[in-house]
Amino acid sequence: MPRDLTLNSLGLPKAPADTRVVVAMSGGVDSSVVAAMLKDEGYDVVGVTLQLYDHGAALAKKGACCAGRDIHDARRVAETMGFPHYVLDYENVFRESVIEEFADAYLAGATPVPCIRCNERVKFKDLMATARDLDADCMATGHYIQRKLGQAGPELHRAADAARDQSYFLFSTTAAQLDYLRFPLGHLASKAETRALAAQYGLPVADKPDSQDICFVPQGNYAAVIEKLRPGAAEPGEIVDLDGTVLGLHRGVIHYTVGQRKGLGLGGLGEPLYVVRLEVDARRVIVGPKAALSTRIVPLREINWLGDQPFDSRPEWHLDVRVRSTRPPCPAVVRPLSATEAEVELIAPEDGVSPGQACAFHAPEGSRVFGGGWIWRGR
Residues labelled as active-site residues: 118, 215
Listed in sequence order, the DSSP H helices in the chain are 29-40, 55-59, 68-81, 91-94, 100-107, 114-118, 127-133, 175-180, 191-200, 222-229
Residue 291 CB contacts under 8 Å (≥ 6 apart), including other chains: none
Cα 366 from Cα 174, distance rounded (Å)? 20
CA 108 to CA 282: how far, in whole Å?
Answer: 11
Torsional class of 267: left (φ above 0), alpha (ψ -120 to 50), beta (otherwise) = beta
Residue 366 backbone zone (phi > 0: left; psi -120 to 50: alpha; other: beta): left
Contact 119/169 with Cβ under 8 angstroms? yes
CB atoms within 10 A of CB 112: 23
**Cβ contacts of residue 15 below 8 Å, gap of 6+?**
8, 42
